[in-house]
Structure 1
Amino acid sequence: MTTEEIVAQQPYSASWWNAIEGATDDDRAAIQSRRLREQIEYLATHSAFYRRKLAAAGVDPAAVRTAADLADLPFTEKQELRDSLKAAPPLGEHVAAADDRIVQIQASSGTTGSPSYVGLTRGDVTTWCELGARALYANGFRPGDRLLHGFGMSKGFVGGIPVVQILQYMGIVDIPIGAEAGADRLLRVQADQRPNALIGTPYFLTHLAEQAPSIVGAEAKDLGVRTISVGGEPGGGLPVVRDRLAGLWGASVREMLGGTDIACTYWGECEVGDGMHFHSPDLMVAELIDPDSGQVLDPVEGTTGELVYTALRREASPLLRFRTRDHVVVTGTDCACGRTGYKIRCVGRTDDMLIVRGINLFPSAVKELVAELAPAATGEMRIRVDFEGHTTQKPLAVVVEHAADLDPDGQTALKEAVETRIRSALNVKAVVELVPDGTLKRPDHVKVALIERV
């Protein structure tokens, strides 16, 4: 979809982009079930991949009447999509729209091999824009804002062109510099243009702010940013990470969540700041499951699980019960902002979880504990893994950066503090190696993994 074909929309109210965000349980269920039936019928007509998949599971598409019926359907796994793409390039056996209807193709990072490719029709682009507008409006972005684009703009990632399209749909001016341009370019554009909004990954935007005095001779908080939206990696919901980012920029910081396969972004945090809302029951079904058993979980406060999505208005690359491997915790089931449904924080990907002597551990939990020890620690850390898979009986090997001016006694105290905190909070023994400030790679347009395999 070209720039000229993206027509800016208007928000429903000063607080919500779309009225559906405050729908009652009954209204949400009714529209979701109706659109699910329409989507299942579309799959049965246009997708040989899903016809075979449902037939193999003994599922009659006509029997799927409500969102609750999804629990009887098989999951779609990421490996199935990879196999489908390999079997029938360029968009796989699961493509469900004719070539002449596809106007855009996005790509995943391809960290385990070739990227996954996702096709979009004009209708799909509009759906992605609507999904993203609801999330970013909750984050505090408003029509008429001017925004500095701090996600990567290259390689077909959804943080690039699709975010530009969402912002244009919202009536926001995007300055698409991109993270790969580097801190110098981004900060000079910020100083020159003074956009009031900023988007990117939390750790890269923190790094950007830290470089502002040396690059443009001013503190980041004096460069005019009012609102920041962060995503692309866990961390934006951690109080210590958020507070530092907000303090450096002098701006509000809110989190959002999405993914290449299903859409660009579709969870967004409001001004209350205690979790991300799911804004689009009319466009997607979001299920919470036990990652081990696959059983659907009731999303009550404190529940942890894996998110599974079914697209309801998807044409080119539809997905039915797609397992994201995003591991989340439910932070609440109501909100002062008036939006209905439950809220979440993402704590990591199920695939990133380590099992240390029988204890499940996410790298983001270790990151939080280390970041809370500033200024003795810079906040940069890595978990070094010297074993195959995700399970070990060894103590956890953690590399932690210490402040440049920390004396030997302070370093000893820091090492002991990190090991004690990990043992106390996570019930895991850790062996900590301290390294000087600047040793570990800082984030840029490529997210830095907290796990290093050696």
Structure 2
Amino acid sequence: MTIQKLLATRDDAIAREDAPAYLAALDAIRLARIPAQIDHCIGNEFYGPKLRDAGINRGADIKTMDDFRRLPAFMTKADHRASQQASLEKYGHSFGLHTCVPKESIIHVAGTSGTTGMPTFYLFTRRDLDMTYEMVGRMLKKAGVRPGDTVLHLFGLSMWLGGTTFMQSLEAYGAHPIPLGAEAGVSRALQYLAACRPRVIAGTPSFLSYLIDRAPEELGKPASAFGVDIVFCGGEPGPAIPPVRKKLQEGYGAKVFDTMLGGWGNAALECGGEHHNGLHFLADEYCFRYDLVDPATREPIELKDGATGEGIHSGLYYEAGPGLRYATGDMLTLHVGTCPHCGEFGTRYSVQGRADDLLNVRGVKIFPSAIKEVVESLRPRTNGQLEIVLDAPPPRVVPPVAVTVEAAEGVAAADFDSLASEIEDQIKARLRIPAKVSMVPEGTIPRSSHKTKLVRVRDAGEG
């Protein structure tokens, strides 16, 4: 059966809101793609040995989705970087041993910021890039972006997936992007907001939130005065935190959409309601983003409504350097059914946090975003900026958890101690962990134009 017919079967199950038939149709779509993807990778010097060690010599060896889901993860972020280092030493380029096409076929490169070492690269052939344009187009259409709309681009522009790749995707869709980028800084971003009157603005929630704070002082008007209807966020957990979401919605007078683009055909969009209801997955025929495994045992978890586990990502129709059973480190909760906001039946997922960011405090396991949500709830006395400072890398944390929190502008230093105690009490009551909070003036904690890290491990010798 062709992919189009399989998608029609999926759409019929969606129309009937038949969850078992819908999940079966998704498996059929994936199974139709996987053998060819494995055949594409089997001759590669990185993937070939891993596949053969797992008992797979050709794509036809995968006969069921259980066969595929029982395979181990073939790559982690660390493996990705090691593959790139090996190709640099062997071939003189950093695209990785897992590159499955001739170097001459690669026409676009994106990457991560590389804040923890060598950046990780995402490669695109012409087909890969056209597929990405299609996936981003689905996101834009679902959010209500129209061809011709002005989009003020304030993600880190450079070469990141949210940068040039997203810019080119906006152009392919027919939108009118303003390629400013977060690197331009707050003042320049506000100048362009006032000058260009974009219908759409895109960036990390922390950067967009900071623009709201600075707009009255620098522009003499609130950020909501400049005609923004749609706010695209990504890269950080902010849009899922109620106080952050509310600030962005009210600060721009706009709908807020959480997004996840990523590489290898992934595309997901949250639908812009008052509350965050999970990211609608939009790329069934191109990517398997939420193949969930237990982060401890690595065993597959049944894919059903409410299932939670680490996401294993596989590009299903990708040529250059495909992610095949890539352990993302993202802890996801799957939602199958009708979205409470938009009423659409399908698959959504919520990102709980990074598996390697999980904090274990005397047996209580929490993600840093939970602490951020507590701090955000104390607005307007805090501005939401915080840093969790650890003596050693997570997960094990010796209590109390050290948290540095910025006070909002106008909060007197004499009130810092009482506010710190109140935050400690809230963390204890809501999260059941002890914390030691240090209040600092606004502007103390470094900002980033890219992803804001909530956790910092003290350097050796740091007090």
* TM-score, structure 1 normalization: 0.89
Matched-pair contact (CA < 8 Å) for 1:270–1:276:
yes
What is the DSSP-based 3-state SS (H/G/I as helix, E as strand, rest coil) of the residue aligned with 1:159?
Answer: helix
CA distance in 2, matches of 1:239, 1:203: 14
Which residue number corresponds to residue 3 of structure 1?
A: none
Which residue number corresponds to residue 6 of structure 1?
A: none
Amino acid of the residue matched to residue 281 of structure 2? Answer: F
Q: Structure 1 residue 304 and structure 2 residue 305: aligned?
A: no
Matched-pair contact (CA < 8 Å) for 2:70–2:299:
no
Range with greater deviation from structure 2 (55-64 or 409-418): 409-418
CA distance in 2, matches of 1:399, 1:27: 48
Choose from 161, 168, 176 the match for 1:158: 161
Spell out, residue by residue over 1:47-72, the C-alpha distance to the aligned partner (whole angstroms, 9 max, x if none).
Answer: 23222111112224321134332222
CA distance in 1, matches of 2:155, 2:216: 21
CA distance in 2, matches of 1:69, 1:338: 34
Q: Structure 1 residue 270 and structure 2 residue 271: aligned?
A: yes
Spell out, residue by residue over 1:217-244, the C-alpha distance to the aligned partner (whole angstroms, 9 max, x if none).
Answer: 2210001100001001111111110100
Spell out, residue by residue over 1:80-117, the C-alpha distance to the aligned partner (whole angstroms, 9 max, x if none).
Answer: 22222122232222111112211112222222211122
CA distance in 2, matches of 1:360, 1:397: 16
CA distance in 1, matches of 2:330, 2:177: 28
Which residue number corresponds to residue 13 of structure 1?
A: none
CA distance in 1, matches of 2:237, 2:444: 22
Which residue number corresponds to residue 57 of structure 1?
A: 54
Range with greater deviation from structure 2 (332-341 or 62-71): 332-341
Amino acid of the residue matched to residue 315 of structure 1? Answer: E
What is the DSSP-based 3-state SS (H/G/I as helix, E as strand, rest coil) of the residue aligned with 2:184?
Answer: helix
Which residue number corresponds to residue 141 of structure 1?
A: 145
Range with greater deviation from structure 2 (265-274 or 20-29): 20-29
Which residue number corresponds to residue 372 of structure 1?
A: 377
How far 1:142 sits from its partner (Å)? 2.7
Which residue number corresponds to residue 80 of structure 1?
A: 79
CA distance in 2, matches of 1:66, 1:73: 12
CA distance in 1, matches of 2:415, 2:343: 48
Amino acid of the residue matched to residue 385 of structure 1? Answer: L
CA distance in 2, matches of 1:31, 1:447: 33
Choose from 248, 251, 268 the match for 1:248: 251
Range with greater deviation from structure 2 (270-279 or 224-233): 270-279
Amino acid of the residue matched to residue 152 of structure 1? Answer: G
1:12-411 counterparts in 2 under 5 A? 24-44=22-42, 46-61=43-58, 62-75=60-73, 76-89=75-88, 90=93, 91-154=95-158, 156-259=159-262, 261-263=263-265, 266-272=267-273, 273-286=276-289, 287-331=291-335, 333-335=337-339, 337=342, 339-407=344-412, 410-411=415-416
Query: In the superposition, relative to structure 1, how do residues 293 and 333 fare at CA in structure 2: closer, same or farther (>3 Å)?
Result: farther
CA distance in 2, matches of 1:81, 1:173: 34
How far 1:351 sits from its partner (Å)? 1.6
What is the DSSP-based 3-state SS (H/G/I as helix, E as strand, rest coil) of the residue aligned with 1:282?
Answer: coil
How far 1:342 sits from its partner (Å)? 2.6
Amino acid of the residue matched to residue 62 of structure 2? Answer: V
Which residue number corresponds to residue 19 of structure 2?
A: none
CA distance in 2, matches of 1:28, 1:403: 48
How far 1:408 sits from its partner (Å)? 6.5
Amino acid of the residue matched to residue 129 of structure 1? Answer: Y
CA distance in 2, matches of 1:189, 1:403: 26
Gaps of 5+ in 1: 1-17
Amino acid of the residue matched to residue 439 of structure 1? Answer: T
CA distance in 2, matches of 1:316, 1:347: 29
Which residue number corresponds to residue 7 of structure 2?
A: none
- C-alpha RMSD of the superposition: 2.3
Matched-pair contact (CA < 8 Å) for 1:213–1:220:
yes
CA distance in 2, matches of 1:150, 1:367: 23
CA distance in 2, matches of 1:361, 1:254: 25
Matched-pair contact (CA < 8 Å) for 1:138–1:269:
no
Query: In the superposition, relative to structure 1, how do residues 26 and 362 fare at CA in structure 2: closer, same or farther (>3 Å)?
Result: closer
CA distance in 2, matches of 1:176, 1:22: 38
Gaps of 5+ in 2: 1-9, 16-21, 459-463
Which residue number corresponds to residue 8 of structure 1?
A: none
CA distance in 2, matches of 1:339, 1:248: 27
CA distance in 1, matches of 2:302, 2:387: 34
CA distance in 1, matches of 2:13, 2:226: 33
Which residue number corresponds to residue 443 of structure 2?
A: 438
Matched-pair contact (CA < 8 Å) for 2:356–2:394:
no
Matched-pair contact (CA < 8 Å) for 1:376–1:410:
no
Amino acid of the residue matched to residue 208 of structure 1? Answer: L
Range with greater deviation from structure 2 (248-257 or 341-350): 341-350
* TM-score, structure 2 normalization: 0.87
CA distance in 2, matches of 1:388, 1:252: 37
Matched-pair contact (CA < 8 Å) for 2:390–2:397:
no
What is the DSSP-based 3-state SS (H/G/I as helix, E as strand, rest coil) of the residue aligned with 1:88?
Answer: helix
Matched-pair contact (CA < 8 Å) for 1:59–1:73:
no
How far 1:413 sits from its partner (Å)? 3.7
What is the DSSP-based 3-state SS (H/G/I as helix, E as strand, rest coil) of the residue aligned with 1:256?
Answer: strand
Amino acid of the residue matched to residue 119 of structure 2? Answer: P
Runs of 4+ residues over 6 Å off in structure 1: 18-21
